Amino acid sequence: MGIPSFDAPVNSPFSWLRDMAETVRDRMLVHGAFLIHGLPLDGPDRLAEARAALGITSHAPTEAFNNRNDFGNGILSPIAWPANRIICPFQEGSFSRTFPSVVLTACIAPPDGDGQSHLSDTRRISDHLPSPLAERVRKGGWTLARSFHDGFGIMWREAFSVQDRAALDALLETAGIEAEWLPGGSLNTVRRLPAVIDHPTTGEECWFNQISFLNSANLDPVERKIMTDAFGEYLPMNTFFGDGSPVSDEDLTAIQNAYELVRIGVSWRRGDLLIADNIMMAQGRSPFAGSPEFLIALGE
How far are the Cα atoms of 38, 159, 173, 179 from residue 166, in angstroms, in the given order? Answer: 48, 15, 11, 13
Q: CA-CA distance, 256 to 261, in Å (whole number)?
A: 9
Per-residue pLDDT tens over the stretch 19-58 = 999 999 999 999 999 999 999 999 999 999 999 999 999 9
Rounded mean pLDDT of the chain? 95
Quick check: 147 and 187 in contact, CB under 8 A? Answer: yes
pLDDT in tens, 121-138: 999 999 999 999 999 999
What b/e readout covers 260-296, taking b as 16+ CB neighbours within 10 angstroms? eebbbebebebbbbbbbbbbbbbbbbbebeeebbbbb
Summarised one tens digit per residue, pLDDT across range 270-289 is 999 999 999 999 999 999 99
Cα distance between residue 234 and residue 133, in whole Å? 26
State yes or no: pLDDT of 1 exceeds 80: no
- Average pLDDT of 217-245? 93
> What confidence tens digit (pLDDT) does each residue in 139-175 have?
999 999 999 999 888 999 999 999 999 999 999 999 9
Closest CA to 110 of 83, 149, 137, 90: 83
